[in-house]
Amino acid sequence: MSNLAQKNLVVVEHDNNEVAIATLNAVTAAQQIGGDIDLLIAGENCAAVAEAAAKIAGVASVKVADNAIFGHHLAENLASLIVDCAAGYSHVLAAATTFGKNVMPRASALLDKAQISEIVEVKSPDTFVRPIYAGNALATVQSSDSIKMITVRTIKFEAAAAEGGSATIEAISSGSDSGLSSWVSQAVSNNDQVDLTSAKIVISGGRGMQSGDNFHMLHSLADKLGAAVGASRAAVDSGFVPNEFQVGQTGKVIAPDLYIAVGISGAIQHLAGMKESKVIVAINNDSEAPIFQVADYGLVADLFEAVPELDAALSN
């Protein structure tokens, strides 16, 4: 297939103010597929998002459905809109965030198309690589569907340039309220920490931290390094930190330049979320902990001594 045959529609994730960085990764995946790239924005009072999206490098046109029914990205309304807009496209993509994972399968089924989840590589316009078994295997799959419905694992695609494009903006009036679901509230933890998914350095704590209070040690270290703080599922389940800190198969998949695992044993499910990190440090008092098998630098030590010492060393 030549690139001329491809036409990509990327579903933009946003908060009605800003384009989510993850969308820029999805745009890069679309660039690798080749052909035109259009964006679809559904939101409420989201003109600022449309203006920002039109500047993304390589984008031809931005379709904007500005309507209160899209304000909270409810899957039922948004999936119907994607279906309305999908005609003429060979590929519809979204980032594999909780936003994309929620809506894309619904749109895919309405279109009677399979979905190719969490691609990590574009081999050709119809062939993609995706991780299975918590990343312990990589499957290369070829799709025969006329529209390829794709979610993109963000860490494997560089973000497209947010500036440099000059796409046209087209308002679309499509969409109606399904009446099936309603948004009630959102609880975002009150923290001003560095964004976990885009941080260059991440320091994560596990069950070994023993309490939520002890995470202050990691936050102190993070402040010195400009790092984000993450956690294993065990630490989240123990109530030390909220779920949005979680790194792993059921949390966020990240690939920072430096990942420091503190008091984390290294279950398969945790490794699935961080083993693509460039450099991994493990600090754990159990020398048999599986985390040491993926660590570039391992320190077998009591974290309650090692972390303050590290903090002090970085203050110098």
Residues 128-187 that bind other proteins (CB under 8 A): 131-145, 178-187
Which whole-number Å values give the CA distances from 302 to 6, 192, 285, 311, in the listed order? 55, 29, 5, 14
Residue 116, helix vs strand vs coil: strand
Answer yes or no: are the C-beta atoms of 222 and 228 closer than 8 Å. yes
CB of 16 to other proteins, least distance (A): 13
CB of 96 to other proteins, least distance (A): 8
What amino acid is encoded at 198 in this protein?
S
Interacting stretch for other proteins, rule CB under 8 A, among 43-51, 167-175, 210-218, 280-288? 280-288
Decide: is 21 part of the binding site for other proteins (CB under 8 A).
no
How many residues line the site for other proteins (CB under 8 A)?
89
CB of 130 to other proteins, least distance (A): 8
Give the separation between CA 248 and CA 251, rounded to whole angstroms. Answer: 5
Going through 191-293 in order, the beta strands assigned E by DSSP cover 201-205, 228-231, 258-262, 279-284
Residues 67-86 that bind other proteins (CB under 8 A): 72, 74-76, 79
Q: Which is nearer to other proteins, 123 or 216 (CB)?
A: 123
Decide: is 288 part of the binding site for other proteins (CB under 8 A).
no
CB of 118 to other proteins, least distance (A): 7
What amino acid is encoded at 73 in this protein?
H
Decide: is 302 part of the binding site for other proteins (CB under 8 A).
no
Binding characters for other proteins, 31-70, by CB under 8 A (x = yes)? ----------------------------------------
Q: Which is nearer to other proteins, 45 or 181 (CB)?
A: 181
Other C-beta atoms lying within 10 Å of the C-beta of residue 59: 25
Residue 14, helix vs strand vs coil: strand
Residues 216-275 that bind other proteins (CB under 8 A): 225, 233, 236-237, 242-244, 249-250, 252, 257-258, 268-269, 275
Cα-trace Rg, the chain: 21
CB of 70 to other proteins, least distance (A): 14
Which whole-number Å values give the CA distances from 193 to 17, 158, 202, 220, in the listed order? 20, 22, 11, 11
Interacting stretch for other proteins, rule CB under 8 A, among 29-37, 51-59, 60-68, 292-300? 292-300
Q: Is 78 exposed, middle or buried (0-12, 13-18, 19+ CB in 10 A)?
A: buried
Residue 121, helix vs strand vs coil: strand
Helix (H) or strand (E) holding 74: none
As a residue count, the chain comes to 316
Q: Which is nearer to other proteins, 127 or 210 (CB)?
A: 127
CB of 76 to other proteins, least distance (A): 6
Phi/psi region, residue 171 (left: phi>0; alpha: psi -120 to 50; beta: rest), is: beta
Binding characters for other proteins, 95-124, by CB under 8 A (x = yes)? --xxx-xxxxxxxxxx-xxxxxxx------
Q: Which is nearer to other proteins, 62 or 104 (CB)?
A: 104
